[in-house]
Amino acid sequence: MKKITNIGVFTSGGDAPGMNAAIRAVVRTAIYENIQVTGIYRGYQGMIDADFVNMNRRSVSSIIQHGGTILKSARCLEFKTKEGRQKAYDNIKAHGIDALVAIGGDGTFTGADLFSKEFEIPVMCIPGTIDNDLYGSDYTLGYDTANNTVIEAIDKIRDTASSHSRVFFVEVMGRDSGCIALNAGVGGGAEAILMPEVDSGVTELFDELALAESREKSSMIVIIAEGDQNGGAYNVAKIVKEKFDHLDIKVSILGHLQRGGSPSSFDRVLATRMGFKAVKELMAGNSRATVGLRGTAIVTTPLEEALSRKEFKLDEELLAIANIMNK
């Protein structure tokens, strides 16, 4: 087994709170183990542009509490081409980088898997996305913080909704995932929750709203994941208005504020454990795998498995509970 001397760390795809804490853990663990660390700016784009920075313990001082990513992020089309990846490899080789830690989501993992196979460079991934839509970890970095952000927003919306006896359609992030919608919907006491994975249609929503009305609720909040099959909050609000013309309906799209903010205690500790584990696994000769939390343990899963398993990640029990709490 070749000894690793210089780990390149980068963040890619949508940013998520906790990414900085993960970078910090990678840097400090590696330096403790006498391994150099190179920060790669803007993910795969930075590899292609040779946008590198040599990191030391102080490069990551006072970042654990900040959202976003000090290494910046990007979605890089050029890396999808063989020429782009060759350029990236030539640059990291010239800089002496002999292993990688990739922090990001599905697209980041796909790129890391391909790159590692093509150029035989060891790589470990850390799941960082607020969507919580990756196999191999019960929780992805940023998911807990995003849930807290959304719940805080729902509480505020509830204040004004109750004061005016209004119905609010609140759209949350999740292009393919209803995890935030379900979790924050339950935590925020939503009257109905629409998610991409559940083909509930609007009839069920009509029933839920009619029931809430019959109970003389002073407000109603419907949480809609952006990827819901009924076409987003504005569309659902329009359909509902056609049937319930008497309702005072408002729409609120929470958008990118869900991606920012100081990471929660849970995300900071999880990120630190994951960053530590990623370096340790590279040192032990593991590669092409993701670290993740299963139960209370930090484990690894081969990337090939993580990428091929598109499992239903919504908590079935929580789904059932949500359907009782809103009755």
Q: Which is nearer to ligand F6P, 174 or 292 (CB)?
A: 174
Q: Which is nearer to ligand F6P, 98 or 131 (CB)?
A: 131
176 is annotated as an active-site residue: no
Closest of 207, 206, 197 to residue 241, by C-alpha? 206
Interface with ligand F6P includes 107 (CB under 6 A)? no
Judged by CB under 6 A, the stretch of 32-40, 170-178, 196-204, 228-236 that binds ligand F6P is 170-178
Q: Which is the catalytic residue, given 15, 131, 133, 144?
A: 131
**Residue for token pair 């009782």:** 324
> Least Å distance between CB 28 and ligand F6P?
26
Interface with ligand F6P includes 131 (CB under 6 A)? yes
Interface with ligand F6P includes 175 (CB under 6 A)? yes
Among 173, 221, 271, 303, binds ligand F6P (CB under 6 A): 173
Judged by CB under 6 A, the stretch of 84-92, 108-116, 127-135, 308-316 that binds ligand F6P is 127-135
> Least Å distance between CB 141 and ligand F6P?
11
Catalytically active residues are 131
Q: Which residues here bind ligand F6P, judged by CB under 6 A?
A: 14, 129-131, 173-175, 226, 259
Annotated binding site: 14, 24-28, 75-76, 105-108, 129-131, 158, 166, 173-175, 189-191, 215, 217-219, 226, 250, 256-259
